[in-house]
Structure formats: C-alpha cells, structure tokens
Structure 1
Amino acid sequence: MDRKPLKDYLDAIEAAMRRGDATEHTHRPALKTLIEALAGPGVQAVNEPRRIACGAPDYVIARGTVPLGYVEAKDVGANLNEVERSEQLGRYRDSLGNLILTDYLEFRWYLGGDLKLTASLPRPGRDGRIRWNDAAGSEVGQLLGQFLEADIPLAASPAELARRMAALARLIRTLIERTFSGEGEAGELHGQLEAFRKVLIESLTTAQFADMYAQTLCYGLFAARCNAPAAGFTRQSAAGALPKTNPFLRRMFNAIAGPDLDDRIAWAVDQLAELLARADIAAILQDFGRRTRQEDPVVHFYETFLAAYDAKMREARGVYYTPEPVVGYIVRSVDALLRRDFKLADGLAHAGKVKLTRPKAQGKGKETLETHKLQILDPATGTGTFLYAVIASIRAQFEGNAGAWPGYVAEHLLPRLFGFELLMAPYAVAHMKLGLELELSGYDFASDQRLGVFLTN
C-alpha cells in the first residue's frame, strides 16, 4: 500500500490542530483529498454544505452518478460510541448500505448496517505531534480500501428489499421536509406543492406532500425497475418509463426524479436507484408471487413496502389487497349478473348509451346529454387490481377481432372506467400498470386522453 496519501493526510490534520482553531469543518478538505487519492481517477468525494444542512452525510463518494459509499465525520476526539447510538446514525445505517463514521482519526465501517471494521490512526501527543505508525496506517488503509471497493449486499428477499426501500423512503421524506423549510417560498419544492394542491388535493399539508413525494419516488422507481434491465438503470432513465395515461403524472415524475431534482435530495434517490439496479428483481418478484399466489407481484408488493415504511398508515388506509382469485370471481360474477339480470348481452363490455337530462351548469333550463348506460367505478382502487381484471375480461371478448379493440377502448372503455384512490404511490402504480397493459394490448394513448383514475376521497 502506498503510505504517502495517509501520511500527507495525517500531516494536514496535525498542522490544523496545532493552529488551535480547528473544527470538524477544518479537516474536510484533507479527508476529501485522502479518499480521492485512494480511490483513483473518476471517483469524487462530494462535500456539499447545502446537502449536509438538510440531513445528508458529510461526504457522498461517487463514480459519476453511481454512489459508492458515504462518510459521516465528527470533530477529532468526538465520542463515536454516543454518535453510533444517535437517531441520525441509526437512520444512515438503516438506509445507506456502505457507510463510514469517523472523527478523522478513528474510522468505523458499516456494511448493510453492520459494523465490519474499526481502525485508528495515531492521536496527537502532549507536544501536539502525531507520529506515524506503520501498523495503524496499514489498518486504516485496508479499511478505506475495502470501503471503496465494497460489494454492497443485494436485497435477497421481498421483505429485505421492502425494508431497505422503506428506510430510504423515510430518509428522502426527511430530506424533503428540511429542504422545503430551508428554501423559501420561491423555491422549487414550494412550486411543486402548489401544483399538487391545484391538480390533486387542495388541502395537502407540507408533511403529506413530503410523504407523497417520497412514496411516489420510491415505488415509482421500483415499478420502473421491474420493467427495465439492471444495466444503466438510474433515476433519469426511469423517468421516461411512465405511460402516457396521465400527462400531469408524467410531468410530476420527471420533475421529482429527473435531471433537475434538487441536489439536496438527489443523492438519496440515486442510492435508491443503485439499490434497485443491483437487486435481482426477477427472482425477488418470482419468490414473492409464489408465496402470495398473486399473478402480478409488482402491484401487490406495495402492501409489503407500506408495511415496512409506515405500518400505521397501511392499517389506517386499509392497504390490504384482495387476492386475485377473489378479484377474478367478483369480476366474472358481475359480468354474469349483467348478462342474466340486466339483459346486457355483452356484460361488462356493453357499449350502449342512454340520454339524460340535467340542469344546465350555468343559467336556467335543462340540457340533454348522451352517456354510456354501464359505468364502472372502483371507489378504493389501490394499484388498480379490479380495473385490471375488468379490462382483461372485456379484452377477452375481442379475441379474433383485434382490429376493433383500439377504437372500442377510445370510444367505449376509457369514457366509463373510473377509480378513486387516497394514496399517491398506488395511484401512480395504477396509472403505470393499466396504461402499460392497454399499450401492450395494442392501444396507443392519444395526447388528450387519460385514464379515469383519480387521486381523491
């Protein structure tokens, strides 16, 4: 091992301390230089005060946009045992797979939340001198080398992936709240909150906005990763995965996951994207689907994620999905009842219309309008399981007549298919899932069309 970077680092620490006015901020340039020297070309140790003020670790170590690890630094002589027990470090250990805690002389390395190695450089003597020690230098060099080359443990099960996604979602939620409070009323997040209030929920609070934002980022990236290869997967590439079923949702996801995402939040979202890129999503979902007996584990995984993210919210909002065999039975039963008792020969696919009269919206008198006789509404649609089954049931009647399907969807399906949902993440997933299903069936959304799935009570 080349001892020079570590000896130069120790000399810089000693010189700063001998001046008598050193703080933890004083030593940051020296640690940045050390890490970049040991890592080699292409790796940066980013120390961004704006991020730190909002709750980010002191250093994000990255190769390009790919995060390699994080460093939380305290002043020389700080009690690292106390820091280790703090809420802040607990949050970092839960959410960041590769982490170092240091007081610039002692280094503690955590991988997957577990303490792996501890090593220390010599401390100043009574004369203020720090005397080099080959053995100590070698131990710290090895620790930093393993940190920089760490193979972050993959999420190997649905429960583990949900836990790690949830930890990052909570971290992102905190970052959003702190960034919001620190940016001023003209800030980007304030503008997005007003857009959410205008288009989605007028009474949305700042805390609800941060929660909605974090959940949408996390589960939106997860859903995008389920339809994308691991190679080259980033938050920027995921932003284009939403179908054209909801123009506002597409713009929103591009704003909160695209290249213009606030730097104080982006580092954590990049960590989430890296977690998803490294996870064996196909194997995890196959195992999850096998155990839950669900045909579409992408949709039903949200229940597992929400249980890890906020179990009380899951219970309060009733996020417990109906098993797909039950969904199928209910949809087939409704179709049969429509045919038998209501004499609609096409069942759920019935496209007949009726004329209704109603008071004019403005002025006196009444107006006549024509609307479909059979309307379909799921008042608690979640991720769209029932609507998905309805579409599949109707689509089956077009076997052998695929050419008529796109026209039917535009004229007789979208105008009468509706869903209401309270939570932003399942709302986004419902749009993604149903939109992708319709596109795969041969239907292409026009620019002025959208699914009738709404975020509302």
Structure 2
Amino acid sequence: MDALEPYLREIRLTRATGAAVKETSYYPALANLFNTVGKTLKPRVHCVINVRNQGAGLPDGGLFTPDQLQAVGDAPFAQGPTPARGVIEAKGSGARLDDILESEQIGRYWDRYGQVLVTNLRDFALVGADVAGDRAVLERYCLAPDDASFWTADPSALRDAHAEPFVQYLSRIMLHAAPLAAPKDVAWFLASYARDAKARVDRADLPALDQIRQALEQALGLRFEGERGERFFRSTLVQTLFYGVFSAWVLWSKKHPPASTARFNWHDAEYELRVPMIRALFEQLAMGSRLRPLGLIEVLDWTAAALNRVDRAAFFAAFAEDAAVQYFYEPFLEAFDPELRKQLGVWYTPPEIVRYMVERVDTVLRDELGLPDGLADPNVYVLDPCTGTGSYLVETLRRIGRTLAEQGDDALAAHRLKRAAMERVVGFEILPAPFVVAHLQLGLLLQDLGAPFADAGDGAHERAGVYLTNALTGWDPDAGPQQPLLFPELEAERDAADEVKRTKPILVVLGNPPYNAFAGVSPAEEDDLVEPYKVGLNTAVAEGGWGIRKFNLDDLYVRFFRLGERRIAEQTGKGVVCYISNFSYLSDPSFVVMRQRFLAEFDALWFDSLNGDSRETGKLTPEGKPDPSVFSTPANREGIRVGTAVGLMVRKPVRDPAPTVRFRQFWGATKRGKLVGSLDANDFDLGYTLG
C-alpha cells in the first residue's frame, strides 16, 4: 500500500499554490493519509477533521471505529462519541514537535481523550499513558529532521526510505487503543516492531555484531556471504531478539497472574530464558552498546509496552490451545519477512500431518521392530533434524504421555516424560528464531503435563534436548576435537549436539525438511552427502549406468533423506525414517539411484502421495477439482507450490529377503482429514497398492 507518496505530493501541491495557510490547508491531505491506512485495518479506522468540542477545546481531528458511526436516519448524537482511537493535533511544518508535545493544549487533550496523535506534517508522535498511567510520548516517527529538508526532498526518495515503516507506524498508532488479546494480533504488533528494527539494522553498519556473526558461522558451519547471506544474518538477529523478548514475556507471565500490577521489562528478559545458548545470544544482541547505535532500544521499549497492553487472560486462553505457538509463529514470520520465509522454504506443518506421522512411527515401532511400548520405550531415541518450532517433538511427547497413562504408571509418568524430553527426544535446528520457539513450546507442554523443567543448581536449568546446530554436519566420530568458539555457551551447545550425533543410538528420524537451501555457503561435508545418489547417473547405459545427463539433486530435502538413511541403515543398523517432503523423489528420473538405495537399505516402505503440485497438475485433481497443498492453512492459504508426500521406511534388525513397498494417493481439499482418518482403518495396509 502506497499511502506516503500521495500524501507528500498532495501537500506539495497545496503549498505550491501560494494560497495555503500553514495549518488548516493541509488537513485534507492528512485525512486522506489516515483514511488510506485506516481502511486496511480491522476494524477500520476513519479520520474526521475538526471534531466538536467535548470540554477540552477543538482537536484538529478524531479517529473513529465503525461501531461509532451512526446509521442513516438515526437521530443525531447529542454530543458525539469520544474518538475510539484518539484525537489529532496538527501544526505547520515549521513548528518544533517537542514544543507542541509540551504545550498545555496537548495536556488538555490527553486528559480528555487519553490518546493524541501530534504532527507537524513531517514528524509524528503518539501521546498516551506510560506504565504508571502518566502522560508520555509512546512512539515517534520522523520523515525529515527540519522544515527545509522536508520541502526540498524528492517525494520518491522519501517514499523509498519511509513508505513501509511509516505505514506500519501509523497502523500501530491507530490500533494502539484497540483490545489486544488474540495471538495473531499480538504477533502482528511484534512483527511490525521487528520490521521497524530490521529497517534500522539494514541502514546501519554492523561492526559491533561481527563477533556474533563469526560465532554463528563457526557454530553452524555456514558463511553469511553475498546479498542473501547478509539479509539472512540481519533477519536472524532481529528475529532472535524479538522472539527472545516474546519468550521471556510468556515465561514472566507464568509467574505474574493477569490480575497482577507488575509490568514486563524487556531489559530483564535474559533472566527468564532458561537455555544458556539462548540467554547468551540474547545478552550479546541486547547489549546497550550494540542496540543504541542501531536505534533499537526505543523499538524494544515500544514492544514491551505493547506486551504490557495485552489482555493476558484472554491471550493465554487461546495460546494454550493445540498448536497455538505455531499459529503465533507463522503470522509473525509472514508479517515480518515473507520473502525470506519463501526463500528458506520454511513452512509450518499442519497438526494433522504431524499427528499422522507420529502415530505411524509409533505403530511401526511396535509392529515391525517388536517394541510394544513404541515411542515410550526408553531405548527409542528420536531425532527431528529440522525441528523448526518443535511440532514433531511436542506430538512425540504427547504420544509418549498417552502410552504411559494407558499403562497406569502415574507416579513415574511425569518423571519419565521429562527425561524423554531432555535425553532421547531430540531436535536440531539451524535458525535461532524457531529454535527459541521450540524451547518455549516444549517447556510449556511439560509444564501443562505436570513435569516442568526445574533449576539444576549453580545457576543451571534443566532443558529440552533441542540444539542449535547444522544437522547435516558433525556426524563423523573420527573428526577429532572441534575448534574453540568465541562464546562458551555456543561451544557447549555445539558439543552437546555433536555428542548426540556421534554417540546416541538414534532409532527414529522424522520431520519436515526445509524445501530450499539456507542463505549461506555450506561446508564440503554437507555438499558431499548426496554423492551416493549420483553414482552412475550420467554414465552411459552401455557402460552400466543410467545415461541421465541432466539431473538435479540439490534440493535440501534430499540431503536430509541421505542423513536419515545413513543414520539408520549404516550406523544404528535398524530403525525408522519418516519425512514429509517434496514428492519428486518418487518418480523423477534424477532420483533413480536414490530409490534404488532405499530398496536396498530398508525392508518395509510406505509412501503417501499428497499431490497438490502446481506444475505437474496445476493443483487440480484428475477430475479437475481443486487440489490444494496440504500446507494450505487459514494463515497460509497458498501453501507451497510443489507436491508433497509422506515417506515412511523401516529397516529391521533381521533383514527381509526383499523389500515390501506400499503406495497410495490422496487428492482434493479434504485429504489431510482423510490421511488422519486412515489411522482408524481395521486393516491399514489394505488402502495401499503393493509396489
């Protein structure tokens, strides 16, 4: 939405006539600006210029919501409603905004209306109440530092520099007095502030953050190079900062009931963060010496103020519902940086898919590997190598909890569940922001199940077995000791992840691998992963090869399949691999060697093709009806473009003479429900075609 440039051009045209007075001539342009932004909000906000005197004088304008507007034919209001989103006071561009803010007039308006948007056409400030209830300037936005530079600046240049953050600012101002309770609305506010923060970071040199960049590159085995790498790094920093604040607020809220008069302070956020790596990263990012030059302290102050406005009773009633954390995270990421999200191929996995996959893994552990307790067996080590916000780990722990409850072991169930979360239900994640959310979600789950993490003494805390690491590297037990890292917490995190990779008998690998490569340069160890899937591909058929000259095995999900195959077939020697991924490996000629290896290394294989591909089928069923992606949700109706499939592969300790392959397809808008519903079939395998 381009609201700024029309405003700038309109006030310049007004000024160019030479007939304008310094204030009132510009009111129509201000009204158009506010109404252009206001009509995009829910509920809409409408600006009325020159509202009547309600005992404090004549404000230059008021901001109203639809419920305040009279229907045609109604009797006129005796006085008129108080503007729900406050009043407006506008002066000429030559006036100093600080002088206006300190005036007796603004004091009167604030006493009467509680919220005043003050502007001199180029500088904007919201006057409201601080945490003590006193009058304060809450948020401010400046288009130009002085009168002369404002009128001589090129409107297009001002638009390029300010259009998006300025509209975000006005949106927040008009929503400031609105009830704030729904997780998606809180996510929007946090994302809006995060976008403001990212814009400031993008304009700044970051020498103070070079140390953090170097530490992350060392720990994750990536190099943030080129334009995409730089964008990825800066976005990662901002997301981590804001999700650190959000997580700290959630944990702080658990200690302070909604009726409490206590107020959250982001400066104390580090004390609420349990995981040493998260706490250390947040501490490094939130140091005043780093935030102050970037102008981020005031943005975080605004963020804390928004969190302190939340109706926490209503928020946590919704937030406690199933998958609420992901439904919070996805709107945040979509509002914060949708293009980066698409580039990374990061998609929230719908709960039906997660539940189906976890239940199937639990079943084959019992039926194919002879483990009657399934995932609840204390010897079953589970790894999600692409954890994201922790959906699969949460559902796995719930499945374990149900099994323990069925066994009636109430006295020890909570303890066993927590030990599982800490030691054998493990996740790897390379992006710091979802890593923070995963720890938050797992901590809240265990708290709700009566098995909260506890303080371990000496300032240490119990924590979930989710590690910030590159899942595709570090598995070689003969690689020797790693180089020291700049921060001891990052080094401890890396070493703990390496211990899992090199010593734990992982029996289950499951998850939703990312669909694109990350914006960094990966090490040779990662690049070499898929070499076994290329053997003989471009060798001539006459020479015993496949004669495929052009092939593409660069999609990131292929590396994760190779990781799972190697871990289960070549290292543990038995177990389960279960992924939802791009379905190209099922039929594309480029993947013929990969398919051969699956048949050689696994004994029982099930493939559920979920279709939904935009290129092969145009997202249409064979009958021509809509066939959306299974990743299409109310928050993300588009889903993803490629078709997907759930692949489940089991390797038995005593190999079968030949592998058994089963395949089925799902089409249409209801396929997620049908997939989950198939779990209740009397004979599950009857729904498949034998391969």
Band of TM-score, shorter chain? 0.5 to 0.7
Of structures 1 and 2, the one scoring higher in RCO (CA 8 A, sep 6+) is 1
Query: Given the alignment of the two structures, is residue 376 of structure 1 paired with residue 376 of structure 2, yes or no?
Result: no
Q: Residue deviations 1:34-72, cap 9 Å, x none?
A: 5345577xx9xxxxxxxxxxxxx8989797788613142
| Residue aligning to 1:316 | 343
| Residue aligning to 1:174 | 199
Amino acid at match of 1:444: A
Query: Given the alignment of the two structures, is residue 68 of structure 1 paired with residue 171 of structure 2, yes or no?
Result: no
Q: How far 1:268 moved relative to its partner?
A: 1.0
Q: Residue deviations 1:155-185, cap 9 Å, x none?
A: 576655444433322221232344444xx4x
SS of the residue aligned with 1:343?
A: coil
CA distance in 2, matches of 1:192, 1:311: 24
Query: Given the alignment of the two structures, is residue 441 of structure 1 paired with residue 446 of structure 2, yes or no?
Result: no
CA distance in 2, matches of 1:413, 1:159: 28
Alpha-carbon distance change, 175 to 236 in structure 1, aligned in 2, over 3 angstroms: same
The match for 1:270 among 283, 301, 307 is 301
| Residue aligning to 2:402 | 396
| Residue aligning to 2:163 | 90
SS of the residue aligned with 2:264?
A: coil
| Segment of structure 1 superposing worse, 428-437 or 248-257 | 248-257
| Residue aligning to 2:174 | 112
CA distance in 1, matches of 2:157, 2:304: 26
Tell me if structure 2 keeps the 8 A contact 1:383–1:429: yes
Alpha-carbon distance change, 285 to 443 in structure 1, aligned in 2, over 3 angstroms: closer
Gaps of 5+ in 2: 1-54, 58-93, 111-122, 472-691
CA distance in 2, matches of 1:298, 1:226: 11
Alpha-carbon distance change, 402 to 298 in structure 1, aligned in 2, over 3 angstroms: same
Tell me if structure 1 keeps the 8 A contact 2:421–2:465: no
For 1:232-381, list aligned pairs within 5 A. 232-242=263-273, 244=274, 246-257=275-286, 262-263=291-292, 264-280=295-311, 283=314, 295-352=322-379, 374-381=380-387
Alpha-carbon distance change, 273 to 341 in structure 1, aligned in 2, over 3 angstroms: same
Alpha-carbon distance change, 330 to 59 in structure 1, aligned in 2, over 3 angstroms: same
CA distance in 2, matches of 1:432, 1:261: 26
TM-score (norm 2): 0.42
Q: How far 1:386 moved relative to its partner?
A: 0.9
CA distance in 2, matches of 1:420, 1:389: 16
CA distance in 2, matches of 1:316, 1:195: 24
| Residue aligning to 1:32 | 98
Alpha-carbon distance change, 94 to 163 in structure 1, aligned in 2, over 3 angstroms: farther
CA distance in 1, matches of 2:170, 2:182: 16
Query: Given the alignment of the two structures, is residue 432 of structure 1 paired with residue 445 of structure 2, yes or no?
Result: no
Amino acid at match of 1:377: L
CA distance in 2, matches of 1:68, 1:380: 40
Query: Given the alignment of the two structures, is residue 190 of structure 1 paired with residue 261 of structure 2, yes or no?
Result: no
Q: How far 1:444 moved relative to its partner?
A: 2.4
Q: How far 1:388 moved relative to its partner?
A: 0.6
| Residue aligning to 1:203 | 223
TM-score (norm 1): 0.61
Amino acid at match of 1:325: E
| Segment of structure 1 superposing worse, 212-221 or 76-85 | 76-85
Larger Rg: 2
SS of the residue aligned with 1:331?
A: helix
Q: Residue deviations 1:256-279, cap 9 Å, x none?
A: 347776222111122122223324
CA distance in 2, matches of 1:61, 1:206: 36
Amino acid at match of 2:146: D
| Residue aligning to 1:421 | 429
CA distance in 1, matches of 2:287, 2:145: 32
Q: Residue deviations 1:355-374, cap 9 Å, x none?
A: xxxxxxxxxxxxxxxxxxx3
CA distance in 1, matches of 2:455, 2:375: 21
| Residue aligning to 1:221 | 245
Tell me if structure 2 keeps the 8 A contact 1:378–1:386: yes
Tell me if structure 2 keeps the 8 A contact 1:303–1:319: no
CA distance in 2, matches of 1:83, 1:160: 31
Provide the aligned C-alpha RMSD in A.
4.1
Tell me if structure 1 keeps the 8 A contact 2:454–2:462: no
Gaps of 5+ in 1: 4-26, 44-56, 100-110, 114-150, 353-373
Alpha-carbon distance change, 112 to 90 in structure 1, aligned in 2, over 3 angstroms: farther
Alpha-carbon distance change, 266 to 201 in structure 1, aligned in 2, over 3 angstroms: farther
CA distance in 1, matches of 2:423, 2:332: 32
| Segment of structure 1 superposing worse, 416-425 or 387-396 | 416-425
CA distance in 2, matches of 1:247, 1:320: 27
Alpha-carbon distance change, 208 to 97 in structure 1, aligned in 2, over 3 angstroms: same
Amino acid at match of 2:281: M
Q: Residue deviations 1:383-433, cap 9 Å, x none?
A: 101101111222334445454356545765533222233432111100121
SS of the residue aligned with 1:240?
A: helix
CA distance in 2, matches of 1:395, 1:260: 46
Q: Residue deviations 1:105-164, cap 9 Å, x none?
A: xxxxxx439xxxxxxxxxxxxxxxxxxxxxxxxxxxxxxxxxxxxx54455766554444
Alpha-carbon distance change, 403 to 2 in structure 1, aligned in 2, over 3 angstroms: closer
